[in-house]
A = this chain, B = another copy of it.
Amino acid sequence: MWTLSTSTGAGYHHGDLRAALLDSALALLNTEGPGELSLRAVARHAGVSANAPYRHYRDKEALLAALATRGFTELGERLAAVGPGDGPDAELIAMARTAVDYALDHPGVYRLMFGQACSTHPDAIAASDAAIAIVAERIAAIAEAERREPLRIGLWALVHGLSTLLLDERLGTPTRAEADALVETVVRTLLGAGPGLSAPGRWGAP
């Protein structure tokens, strides 16, 4: 009758409930949507009582926000790891694909990250801004000054929109490769160059 906890927890005191709760929430999020996730279920999954989470998070929203924050951080790391590609367009496309892939890999957390509850939480906003900043840097090295801001906002919006549509299966149920190809085609088209065509006059900054 000891803990049936998923995470390594011993006896009365768990060890690292704070992190274990995040893991439990993550596991449950990939099963059901963020709206259906109950704090009590997270506690059960972690093998603790319904009230234990309150020692580590002020309320349910705080736990979810922490998870979203972790999500933004991880997304940022993935984006930072994207190497320069074959020309600026390729680099932007690679980053877009990376972000969409992240959404497809973590549907629950992704929806959480862009849900209303977490958009309000300062930590999540900060982590989100950090992720955007990475994209902004790359763009700054590529685009002319007056195009940077709209490009940053536009790509962010585009990627988020594509992720949402794909997660909701509003674009069919493509395989990962098909989804990636779709992202590439869409981004390339919107960047002004048709598929297979290069976009003259927009290659490289100073």
A residues neighboring B (CB under 8 Å): 33-35, 111, 114-117, 119, 125, 128, 144, 146-147, 150-151, 153-162, 164-165, 168-171, 182, 185-195, 199, 202
Contact = CB atoms under 8 A, between A and B. Distances in A.
Contacts of A114: 164, 168
B33 A158 contact: no
Nearest to A34: B116
A76 B125 CA distance: 32
A163 to B, nearest CB: 8
Given A160-B161, A161-B157, A186-B153, A146 B194 contact: yes
A153 B165 contact: yes
Nearest to A158: B158
Copy total for this chain: 2
A191 B194 contact: no
A33 B50 CA distance: 26
Given A34-B116, A125-B170, A157-B165, 20 more contacts: A35-B116, A35-B117, A144-B194, A150-B186, A150-B188, A153-B186, A154-B158, A154-B186, A157-B157, A157-B159, A157-B160, A157-B162, A158-B158, A159-B161, A160-B161, A161-B161, A161-B164, A190-B191, A191-B192, A192-B192
Contact of A158 (B119, B146, B157, B202): B157
A164 B170 contact: no
A-B residue pairs, 9 tightest by C-beta: A192-B192, A157-B161, A150-B189, A161-B161, A119-B168, A160-B161, A154-B186, A154-B190, A157-B162
Contacts of A153: 162, 165, 171, 182, 186
Given A157-B162, A165-B157, A150 B116 contact: no
A132 to B, nearest CB: 9
Nearest to A148: B189
